[in-house]
Amino acid sequence: MLQLSQRQTLQMKLTPQQVQYLQLLQLPVLALEQRIQAELEMNPLLEEVDELTQQQEEDKAQDAQEAVAEIPKAETSNNEDGYTFEDFMNDNLDGYKATVSRNYDEDREDFPQPAEITLAQKLRDQIFLLDINDEEKLLGDEIIGNIDEDGYLRRDLALIVQDLNLSHSLMITLERAEEILKLIQHIDPPGIAARNLRECLIVQLEVSEGNHELADKAMIILRDYFEDFTMKHFAELSKNLNLTIEQLKPVIELIQKLNPKPGEGQISQQQNYVIPDFAVERDDDDFIISLNDRNVPPIRINKGYKELMSKKNKKGQEDGVKDFIRKRFEAAKWFIASINQRRDTMIRVMRTIVEKQRVFFETGENLRPMIYKDIAEVINMDISTISRVVNGKYVQTEYGVYELRHFFSDKLTTQSGEEVSNKEVKIKIKIIIEAEDNNNPLSDDKIAEMLNSQGLNIARRTVAKYREAMKIPVARLRRKI
């Protein structure tokens, strides 16, 4: 029997405009330029305009407004009850012709580049051949977009699925996403999109066609004794696998022949360039912060479509044409608004970072401890918004180019009560290790004692944590013959 029931729930949903803004916010400058070019191709109401043309049109518009102001009011007040969509377009279109960028480099020469198939394109071509549906191929494309230069998937798969489901209204489960990721890891090069070294090496062993007996023993090491392998505890491995050192040697050599960086060597020269999103320059006692959007094309709404709206369609399709233009107009309006909002948010975040880290921008040293929450509280935004701005963005300073994440770090307290960034402590640890005796490297305990003598309250486990973060091996593995 059919039954009707009511249920009240509370949900939080983002509008399409908010989703678009968040997507644009996380794009670096080069990706933003490509995104705008794609939008220009998809939306006919958007057009690219140079600064000279815009200045001329603004001058004409100002002259026209002055001329209209001189006309008696009675002569311009007819058609009060017949306000049409054409009138709306005429009244509002000029309000959205502000360009996305006023720093467009008209003299830039786009030199032809040699044709080249990137690793990402090779992976996408292989994903197209997998037995998965279109939605899952979209997930595969998103996974590829988050692979770093070494070939690892550094972003949490759950976050990728969450963003994809939100922006495209999909229902892909995390379990299915793991299956898709597994398929991608087994295409060429094997081990691509692995989340850690262990996973990368295991995938390569699974597809290897060499000595199966050695491969089976190597798989046992990677799955059950990976830590002993990385720590070079060969005696322990020999005992656990019931092998002699001579029998263990070819197994270890097989693992060492695997590629720990499946994406290395596949990145083109163009992709290796870092294009700063900001520039910070010193001006006496102040700083000038500028957004690097000089190559971002200025865009506006195409006024030519006003004429199309005013024409009568003899076949009675005028309403359909108007409806199409109305939808494209709204999309163009929100796109330009999102671009402008993106610029405003990024400038506010960068300005606050400079204020918080003023000493560093003045001297290039003494980075202060700071977290995302510190910036979010100042500009009254969510922490996730700060994360989107910071992720993948770079700034050009007088002391070099830095990723914005470089300015964020946890704090340590000195014996005098002063707060010090953990990045400054890492630098001190690195200096101590570089000056150590190679025949008798310093233990973490000894490094902690030296730092404590310098006034830093730091424990041995903290030294080990920072050393591992800098990818510096333990003392035993640093010993050189």
CATH number of the domain within which 171 lies: 1.10.10.1330
**Long-range contacts of 327-335, Cβ-Cβ distance < 8 Å, separation of 24 or more:** 328/43, 328/44, 328/45, 329/45, 329/89, 329/301, 329/305, 331/43, 331/45, 332/43, 332/45, 332/46, 332/96, 332/301, 333/96, 333/301, 334/16, 334/17, 334/20, 335/20, 335/39, 335/43, 335/46
Task: Choose from 2-6, 301-305, 312-316, 337-341 the range with maximum mean pLDDT.
Answer: 337-341
How much is the pLDDT for 56?
Answer: 62
Is there a contact between 237 and 248 (Cβ–Cβ < 8 Å)?
yes
**Residue 95 within a domain:** no
- Whether 66 shows a pLDDT value over 50: the answer reads yes
| Rounded average pLDDT over 85-99 | 44
Domain stop point among 363, 383, 407? 407
- Whether 77 shows a pLDDT value over 90: the answer reads no
> Alpha-carbon torsion 356, 360, 467, 387, what sign?
positive
Same domain, 252 and 353: no
| Cα Rg, the chain, nearest whole Å | 30
How much is the pLDDT for 92?
Answer: 45
Percent with pLDDT over 70 in the chain = 80
| Tokens of residue 140, six digits | 């595969």
- Whether 439 shows a pLDDT value over 60: the answer reads yes
Ordered DSSP codes for 466-480: HHHHTTPPPHHHH--
Same domain, 172 and 218: no
Same domain, 301 and 380: yes
- Whether 94 shows a pLDDT value over 60: the answer reads no
| Rounded average pLDDT over 132-149 | 93
- Whether 440 shows a pLDDT value over 50: the answer reads yes
- Whether 258 shows a pLDDT value over 90: the answer reads yes
**Residue 17 within a domain:** no
Q: Band the pLDDT of 112: cuts 50, 70, 90.
A: very low
Q: Which of 189, 197, 43, 34 is nearest to 120 (CA)?
A: 189
Cα–Cα–Cα angle for 413, 416, 419, nearest 5°?
30
Instruction: Give the residues across from 194 on adjacent strands.
Output: 152
pTM of the complete model: 0.54
Q: How does the average pLDDT of the chain come out, rounded?
A: 81
Is there a contact between 458 and 425 (Cβ–Cβ < 8 Å)?
yes
Same domain, 281 and 396: yes
Same domain, 191 and 230: no
Same domain, 351 and 282: yes
| Rounded average pLDDT over 144-169 | 92
CATH number at 462 reads 1.10.10.60
**Residue 283 within a domain:** yes
Instruction: Give the residues across from 390 on adjacent strands.
Output: none
Q: Band the pLDDT of 377: cuts 50, 70, 90.
A: very high
How much is the pLDDT for 396?
Answer: 92
Same domain, 139 and 205: no
Same domain, 463 and 422: yes
How much is the pLDDT for 95?
Answer: 41
What is d(CA 268, CA 117) in angstroms, rounded to the nearest whole number?
Answer: 9
Which region among 114-118, 234-238, 308-312 has the lowest average model confidence (pLDDT)?
308-312
Number of helices and strands in the chain (H, E): 22, 8
What is d(CA 195, CA 186) in angstroms, rounded to the nearest whole number?
Answer: 13
Q: Taking the CB of residue 44, how many other CB atoms lie within 10 A of it?
A: 15
| Rounded average pLDDT over 105-118 | 52
Domain of residue 417: give its range.
Answer: 411-478
Residue that has been written with the tokens 């963005």 in this structure: 393
Check residues 297 and 429 and name the one with the higher pLDDT. Answer: 429
How much is the pLDDT for 353?
Answer: 94
Interstrand relation of 299-301 and 419-421 (parallel, antiparallel or unpaired):
unpaired
Same domain, 281 and 393: yes
Is there a contact between 180 and 136 (Cβ–Cβ < 8 Å)?
yes
Same domain, 453 and 357: no
Q: Which of 157, 152, 243, 239 is nearest to 203 (CA)?
A: 152
Q: Which of 187, 98, 180, 92 is nearest to 143 (CA)?
A: 180
Same domain, 184 and 131: yes
Q: Band the pLDDT of 93: cuts 50, 70, 90.
A: very low
Q: Band the pLDDT of 267: cuts 50, 70, 90.
A: very low
Cβ contacts of residue 139 below 8 Å, gap of 6+? 160, 161, 164, 172, 177, 180
How much is the pLDDT for 108?
Answer: 43
Element (H, E) at 24: helix 16-25
What is d(CA 143, CA 164) in angstroms, rounded to the nearest whole number?
Answer: 10
Per residue in 338-368, pLDDT (tens digit) is: 999 999 999 999 999 999 999 899 988 888 8
Check residues 133 and 91 and name the one with the higher pLDDT. Answer: 133
Domain stop point among 407, 423, 440? 407
What is d(CA 50, CA 310) in angstroms, rounded to the nearest whole number?
Answer: 27
**Residue 368 within a domain:** yes
How much is the pLDDT for 421?
Answer: 82
Which region among 80-84, 295-299, 437-441 has the lowest average model confidence (pLDDT)?
80-84
Same domain, 256 and 153: no
Q: Band the pLDDT of 152: cuts 50, 70, 90.
A: very high
Per residue in 13-62, pLDDT (tens digit) is: 777 778 888 888 888 888 888 888 888 888 888 888 766 665 666 666 56
Is there a contact between 184 and 143 (Cβ–Cβ < 8 Å)?
yes
Number of domains comprising the chain: 4
